[in-house]
């Protein structure tokens, strides 16, 4: 053997290693740090610049600003040469929105979305773009992302060098703000929906709580007023198909989001509740329920907090890929369902003003276990999922039904002096017209009682108003605004404007200065109801 042979072999090995490394560049911050650290805002924007420069199919823009003024980056993945909002809407393709990092301690969605964009920049997932336009917002709570600390998300297994915060820079939880729109981030997301009109939206989270055996849990829109076809397809077809595919391809266990009221998860449900698998709140202050009331397929994912950070990134990425694969195969059907939901005339239909859990048939839930470890940098206890599966039959509480209803009117009438109400409605994209000079037949809501919560939530003391709508012979005086119920966002308008709605403007205390004592009237009027029952 020649003396030069080892040198040539070493050089060849170095070349191959360099070439292999180049194939995966750019690296995310977790990949560069052996998954100790999560990406900062600058890491994300630099990564996006790199993948966009490498692919004509990735276009970069922004869709708003955070409370501290950071632009919210948006990557548009498509075959369109100039993917403006108008061009996206006119493309005839199904639009899918992928959102990470609304809670900036739940960071694997952010990292998984960056990896997917890297795959696209290298020619991956090309079949998606035959039928889809994909919008990627990897770092939605960008301000919270920069507030990294070792003690955020205690007991979560990494990133060990710390992660961001749940609230934004205002101290508000963006995922409680989708109805009241008090954060610039939630307003930006509503504006994005109005501009691009996505048909499918994913919100990527991480869950702690019950020690179960699932790698990821998910939820469809749970509000009872969600269009029945949207709810049925998401819950009955789409998400079960994703779970089967993930099990077959990767061995991952996916299931309906839930917790068990048991000693290992004391916060999961009220003390004394029947042992069962309980989902979360139904109200549209949460992203996927809000999207459902907009007649869109809103999907929540929750990776398991006690998987390692590296495992969570992979699980979240695979979930997104399976969801988008299904969307690509069913793109035409998805658009048809949302189009029909937008066309439904709800006037005269009975819709829920509040909801209660529905007890479902028992099902097998995979319970699990964790082991305790120590974060080497903070010394604090963290949990790690053990490969333990304990099947248990229990009642399922993963769906809601109406607890109280109200009939949808022709329209709601808002005094022009209530400019804040009109501003929020328009920010949602709800149509608001000037009321005609001719006075319609009116209804007024007589307030019988009102209660206010003792504690604050998101800076508000929630209110509950009780009473009844009554015919009125009064005539409109002054200037009024009319919010028609027969519009695509009629379900959302109902949730925001009805006085007994459990997540409306009245419930958040936004109408307090206009509300009077019991025996007085709610300040928003209605055009009298019509006798026919509209479709759901």
Residue after which a domain boundary falls, among 402, 426, 454: 402
C-alpha to C-alpha distance for 29 and 433, rounded to whole angstroms: 49
Q: What 8-state DSSP symbol labels residue 431?
A: -
Residue 297 and residue 168 share a domain: yes
User: Structural domain tally of the chain?
Assistant: 2
Residue after which a domain boundary falls, among 365, 387, 402: 402
Residue 388 and residue 426 share a domain: no
* Residue 261 confidence (pLDDT): 82
Residue 333 CB burial class (10 angstroms; 0-12, 13-18, ≥19): middle
Two structure tokens written together for 300 = 């929540």
Q: What CATH number should be reported for the domain holding residue 371?
A: 3.40.630.10
Q: What 8-state DSSP symbol labels residue 237?
A: I
Residue 536 predicted with pLDDT over 80: no
Q: Is 16 part of a structural domain of the chain?
A: no
Q: Is 87 part of a structural domain of the chain?
A: yes
* Residue 57 confidence (pLDDT): 98
Residue 287 and residue 223 share a domain: yes
Average pLDDT over every residue of 174-190: 98
Judge whether 28 and 47 are in contact, CB under 8 Å: yes
Residue after which a domain boundary falls, among 370, 386, 402: 402
* Residue 262 confidence (pLDDT): 60
Q: Is 351 part of a structural domain of the chain?
A: yes
* Residue 513 confidence (pLDDT): 87
State the pLDDT confidence band at 23, using cuts at 50, 70 and 90.
Answer: low
Two structure tokens written together for 283 = 């109200």
To 5 degrees, how large is the angle CA 290–CA 148–CA 321? Answer: 45
% of the chain residues with pLDDT over 90: 86
Two structure tokens written together for 55 = 């692919």
Range name among 79-88, 197-206, 353-362, 449-458 with the lowest pLDDT average: 449-458
Residue 264 predicted with pLDDT over 60: no
Residue 368 and residue 471 share a domain: no
To 5 degrees, how large is the angle CA 428–CA 433–CA 436? Answer: 160
Q: Angle at which helices 490-497 and 419-428 pack, to 10 degrees?
A: 150
Average pLDDT over every residue of 334-354: 98
pLDDT digits (tens, 9 = 90+) for 408-466: 999 999 999 999 999 999 999 999 999 987 778 999 999 999 899 999 999 999 999 99
* Residue 180 confidence (pLDDT): 98
Closest CA to 163 of 117, 108, 208: 108
pLDDT digits (tens, 9 = 90+) for 490-515: 999 999 999 999 999 999 999 988 88
Closest CA to 430 of 496, 514, 350, 474: 496
Q: Is 10 part of a structural domain of the chain?
A: no
Residue 439 and residue 359 share a domain: no
Residue 424 and residue 322 share a domain: no
* Residue 535 confidence (pLDDT): 47
C-alpha to C-alpha distance for 157 and 381, rounded to whole angstroms: 9
* Residue 248 confidence (pLDDT): 98
pLDDT digits (tens, 9 = 90+) for 377-386: 999 999 999 9
Residue 342 predicted with pLDDT over 60: yes
* Residue 530 confidence (pLDDT): 55
Range name among 25-34, 66-75, 263-272 with the lowest pLDDT average: 263-272
Residue 347 and residue 369 share a domain: yes
State the pLDDT confidence band at 25, using cuts at 50, 70 and 90.
Answer: confident
47 conformational bin, left if phi > 0, alpha if psi -120 to 50, beta if neither: alpha
Residue 200 and residue 95 share a domain: yes
Q: Is 112 part of a structural domain of the chain?
A: yes
DSSP-derived secondary structure for 187-221: HHHHHHHHHH--SEEEEEEEE-SS-BS-SEEEE--
Residue 311 and residue 348 share a domain: yes
Residue 478 predicted with pLDDT over 50: yes
Residue 296 and residue 244 share a domain: yes
Task: State the residue for tokens 């991480």.
Answer: 206
Residue 21 predicted with pLDDT over 70: no
Judge whether 138 and 195 are in contact, CB under 8 Å: no
Average pLDDT over every residue of 94-100: 98
Q: Angle at which helices 309-329 and 239-250 pack, to 10 degrees?
A: 130
* CA distances for 424 relative to 57, 171, 276, 432, angstroms: 35, 20, 38, 11
- Look over the chain and give the mean of its residue pLDDT values, rounded to a whole number: 92
Average pLDDT over every residue of 316-345: 98
Q: Is 130 part of a structural domain of the chain?
A: yes
Q: What 8-state DSSP symbol labels residue 529?
A: P
State the pLDDT confidence band at 272, using cuts at 50, 70 and 90.
Answer: low
277-303 CB burial, b ≥16 within 10 A, e <16 = bbbbebbbbbbbbbbbbbbbbbbbbbb
Residue 74 predicted with pLDDT over 90: yes
C-alpha to C-alpha distance for 405 and 409, rounded to whole angstroms: 13
Q: Which residue has the higher pLDDT, 5 or 330?
A: 330
* Residue 132 confidence (pLDDT): 98
* Residue 98 confidence (pLDDT): 99
Q: What 8-state DSSP symbol labels residue 439?
A: -
State the pLDDT confidence band at 3, using cuts at 50, 70 and 90.
Answer: very low
Residue 13 predicted with pLDDT over 60: no
Residue 415 and residue 367 share a domain: no
Residue 271 predicted with pLDDT over 70: no
Average pLDDT over every residue of 280-308: 98
DSSP-derived secondary structure for 388-441: --EEEEEEEEEEEEEEEEEE--SEEEEETT-HHHHHHHHHHT---EEPPSS---
Q: Is 19 part of a structural domain of the chain?
A: no
Residue 269 predicted with pLDDT over 80: no
Residue 175 and residue 150 share a domain: yes
Q: Is 315 part of a structural domain of the chain?
A: yes
Residue 12 predicted with pLDDT over 50: no
Q: What 8-state DSSP symbol labels residue 27?
A: P
Structural domain span for residue 460 = 408-527
* Residue 383 confidence (pLDDT): 98
């Amino acid at each position: 053997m020649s003396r030069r042979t080892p040198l040539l072999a070493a050089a060849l090995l170095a070349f191959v290693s360099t070439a292999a490394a180049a194939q995966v560049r750019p690296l995310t911050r977790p990949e560069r740090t052996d998954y100790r650290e999560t990406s900062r805002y600058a890491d994300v924007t630099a990564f996006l610049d790199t993948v966009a420069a490498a692919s004509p199919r990735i276009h970069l823009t922004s869709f708003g600003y955070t409370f501290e003024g950071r632009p919210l980056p948006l990557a548009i993945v498509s075959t369109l040469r100039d993917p403006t909002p108008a061009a996206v809407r006119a493309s005839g393709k199904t639009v899918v929105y992928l959102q990470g990092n609304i809670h900036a301690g739940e960071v694997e969605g952010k990292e998984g979305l960056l990896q997917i964009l890297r795959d696209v920049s290298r020619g991956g997932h090309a079949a998606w773009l035959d039928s889809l336009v994909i919008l990627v917002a990897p770092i939605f709570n960008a301000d919270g992302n920069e507030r990294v600390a070792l003690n955020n998300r205690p007991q979560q297994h990494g990133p060990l060098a710390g992660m961001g915060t749940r609230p934004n820079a205002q101290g508000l939880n963006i995922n409680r703000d989708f109805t009241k729109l008090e954060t610039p981030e939630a307003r930006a997301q509503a504006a994005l929906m109005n501009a691009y009109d996505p048909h499918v939206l994913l919100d990527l989270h991480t869950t702690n709580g019950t020690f179960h055996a699932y790698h990821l849990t998910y939820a469809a829109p749970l509000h009872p007023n969600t269009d029945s076809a949207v709810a049925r397809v998401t819950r009955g077809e789409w998400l079960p198909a994703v779970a089967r595919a993930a099990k077959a391809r990767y061995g991952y266990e996916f299931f309906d989001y839930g917790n068990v009221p048991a000693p290992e998860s004391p916060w999961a449900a009220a003390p004394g509740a029947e042992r069962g698998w309980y989902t979360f709140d139904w109200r549209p202050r949460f992203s996927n329920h809000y999207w459902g009331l907009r007649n869109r397929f809103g999907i929540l994912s929750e990776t398991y907090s006690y998987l390692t950070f590296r495992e969570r990134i992979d699980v979240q990425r695979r979930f997104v890929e399976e969801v988008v694969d299904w969307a690509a195969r069913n793109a035409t059907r998805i658009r048809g369902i949302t189009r029909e939901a937008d066309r439904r005339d709800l006037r005269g239909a009975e819709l829920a003003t509040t909801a209660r859990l529905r007890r479902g048939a028992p099902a097998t839930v995979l319970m699990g276990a964790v082991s305790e470890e120590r974060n080497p940098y903070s010394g604090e206890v963290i949990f790690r999922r053990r490969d333990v599966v304990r099947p248990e039959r229990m009642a399922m509480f993963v769906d809601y039904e109406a607890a109280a209803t109200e009939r949808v009117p022709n329209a709601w009438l808002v005094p022009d002096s209530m400019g804040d109400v009109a501003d929020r409605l328009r920010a949602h994209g709800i149509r608001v017209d000037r009321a005609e000079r001719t006075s319609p037949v009116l209804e007024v809501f007589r307030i019988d009682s009102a209660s206010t919560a003792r504690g604050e939530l998101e800076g508000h003391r929630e209110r509950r108003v009780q009473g009844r709508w009554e015919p009125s012979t009064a005539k409109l005086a002054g200037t009024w605004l009319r919010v028609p119920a027969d519009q695509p966002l009629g379900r959302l308008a109902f949730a925001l404007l009805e006085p007994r709605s459990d997540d409306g403007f009245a419930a958040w205390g936004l109408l307090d200065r206009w509300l009077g004592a019991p025996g007085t009237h709610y300040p928003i009027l209605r055009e009298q109801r019509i006798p026919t029952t509209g479709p759901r």
